[in-house]
Amino acid sequence: EPEVTQTPSHQVTQMGQEVILRCVPISNHLYFYWYRQILGQKVEFLVSFYNNEISEKSEIFDDQFSVERPDGSNFTLKIRSTKLEDSAMYFCASRDNLNTEAFFGQGTRLTVV
């Protein structure tokens, strides 16, 4: 069964460093998302991406964040200068159309020290 894959599964980084979280969505999907879950809290929406551009972003998704789909298969989330409060599990999701199932990856646990 097709699945969304995310790498790395765990990343530890120093405060102020840049990190790139990688995702390979399901191949025929058109809508892509990043969510995050701070330990013990709800899963929160960060950004949606369609037709090679950001379609919607939350207040969390400030200038430190960016997304890219560089080659038609990968979908990346970059955090330019990480803060301690960026420590969370980051999930990538994809779906083939609106109002259909959205499939999530296994997540990348980001720890900022």
> How far is 4 from 19, CA to CA, in rounded Å?
20
Question: Cβ closer to other proteins: 12 or 17?
Answer: 12
* CA 69 vs CA 38, 43, 44, 48, 65: distances in Å: 25, 23, 21, 12, 14
> How far is 87 from 90, CA to CA, in rounded Å?
9
Question: Cβ closer to other proteins: 15 or 50?
Answer: 50
Phi, psi of 63, deg, nearest 5: -65, -15
Binding letters toward other proteins, positions 22-61, x by CB under 8 A: ---------x-x-x-----xxxxx--x-x----xx-----
Query: Which member of 7, 11, 74, 106 binds other proteins (CB under 8 A)?
Result: 106
Kindly list the residues in this chain that would bind other proteins in the complex (CB under 8 A): 31, 33, 35, 41-45, 48, 50, 55-56, 89, 91, 93, 95, 98-107, 109
